Structure 1
């Protein structure tokens, strides 16, 4: 079927080989397209037609990222054919950073993180459209929904009362935060490395708008468990090799604290078989912060 569709999409009609890509949680059907003209490679996503409008918005995001000279997949074409929508982007040569980075030296891991932080900073030039409600109003509502579900779910996180108190004391800090573009899934699994160097960012389909500091909670949950040098590098790269101030760490800790409850509920609702693994990650960052007695994590000090 895919070969038939490929012949009907002008951009890839001269393909040489099609490889199905199964990595990731996306419901898209993903394919690496090796073209007949030289070594050129493209990336094809097939999706249900009802997703076409949201995919067009994602395509526009990629166009904006290209304007900002972000190292990421370049948008090439989007449309519909038969019963499917499709999006074609350039292919970033390299390997999954999550797999490759533990094999590298401390300096190489740090440098990849540093460049990832610089790219993230460039993304945050993009301001939210005027119709997007404030970050504070959206985030508070979402947090309350998760907290309400948490109280009913039957899972209890150790010292949850202490975590909730920390959130209540610091949640007003969100009121004046900017409403900017968020990749919202900047983990090592969405970065590509090539020849031991940073090559680019992928998977913009979970983008959102809000406080740019919220992006960094992925470090506390995921990246620090794979590579502390990368995690330190990402923060230093974002801040132009300067140390972030207390307001950064307080917001970073606030978002991690809120994430305790959203992680429990999201996991129960989406991948309940992974609950133990996700709780391990939660307890790791809780211990990093001594249950938020400290706003700067132990691994950074």
Structure 2
């Protein structure tokens, strides 16, 4: 049993995390989110807990860390329960102006998250990310399934690796997109699922914006504009295209173990990305809007 004694414990199966997740109710009626990880994850979860405490101290609206420790089932992590709805479901039912406004807010929240600097011990970003690139290109080339015009991703990456030089590093949420956001009972945006948190280039956080742009181009546009206070540097777009290219290359090999449906999802997503960037010939994606009236 977990160290905490709960009145009820209902398992949550949604999501890709390897953690076991439960909606638990204490004897006083208070709901919480309980995550249980394997014992070997103890150190990583300890860091995750401490970093989430730092993020919470910045005033970020989020699932708040409550307790962390070990029990017979593994490593437990207790977080606040957010009463509300998945933002992904709400997003397409609100007005365009509301979509854009939530995007602005999401970008501003991300800016706060990224304000936490990475430790001085972090390996230089250029070295670290180039190693990731090399690995993902090799995995893609060795993969039995290829994207149509997939070479365009590789060519763009290789032509723009120089942009990785001297990039700063910070704390990253690690999986920042509409699928990891909620709208609480008061209509406020809340950020969840920090279990992929890491340190790296703050602009790499936008590599998941593909999912957000597919749901709502206006939300994605607002997120970029909110992060940069309506002054988006061109180097951001160049680097974002590199990060998205790299992510897209690895998505197909990730999808294969999950079956044909996920493979098809990634193939269709790659087609959409290539359309946004005109086969990686354009730097700014077609979904981006500078502002709305």
TM-score by length of 2: 0.92
For residue 60 of structure 1, report the CA deviation from its aligned partner. 1.0
Contact (CA 8 Å) 1:115, 1:198: kept in 2 or not? no
Show structure 2 runs of 5+ residues with no match. Answer: none
For residue 58 of structure 1, report the CA deviation from its aligned partner. 0.8
* Matching of residues 20-169 of structure 1 within 5 Å: 20-37=11-28, 40-169=30-159
Contact (CA 8 Å) 2:82, 2:184: kept in 1 or not? no
The question of 1:282 aligning with 2:270 is answered yes
Distance 2:37 2:56 in 1: 23
* Distance verdict in 2 for CA 1:172–1:272, change over 3 Å: farther
Root-mean-square deviation (Å) = 1.8
For residues 39-80 of structure 1, what are the alpha-carbon distances to aligned partners after superposition, in whole Å with 9 as ceiling and x for unaligned? x32111122212112111110111111122211122111111
For residue 85 of structure 1, report the CA deviation from its aligned partner. 1.7
Contact (CA 8 Å) 1:116, 1:198: kept in 2 or not? no
- Number of matched residues? 288
For residue 157 of structure 1, report the CA deviation from its aligned partner. 2.1
Distance 1:109 1:197 in 2: 13
TM-score by length of 1: 0.90
Per the alignment, residue 225 of structure 1 pairs with 214
For residue 264 of structure 1, report the CA deviation from its aligned partner. 1.9
Query: Which runs of 4 or more aligned residues in structure 1 lie more than 4 Å from their structure 2 counterparts after TM superposition?
Result: none
Specify the SS of the correspondent of 2:220: helix
Contact (CA 8 Å) 1:146, 1:265: kept in 2 or not? no
For residue 171 of structure 1, report the CA deviation from its aligned partner. 0.8
Per the alignment, residue 190 of structure 2 pairs with 200
Distance 1:50 1:292 in 2: 41
* Distance verdict in 2 for CA 1:90–1:195, change over 3 Å: closer
Distance 1:272 1:243 in 2: 42
For residues 197-252 of structure 1, what are the alpha-carbon distances to aligned partners after superposition, in whole Å with 9 as ceiling and x for unaligned? 333111111112111111112112x1111111211111111112x13121111111
Q: Which of 166, 169, 172 does residue 179 from structure 1 map onto?
A: 169
Distance 2:182 2:146 in 1: 37
- Bigger shift: 21-30 or 114-123? 21-30
For residue 191 of structure 1, report the CA deviation from its aligned partner. 0.2
Distance 1:26 1:257 in 2: 23
For residue 24 of structure 1, report the CA deviation from its aligned partner. 0.6
Per the alignment, residue 291 of structure 1 pairs with 279
The question of 1:213 aligning with 2:203 is answered yes
For residue 179 of structure 1, report the CA deviation from its aligned partner. 1.2
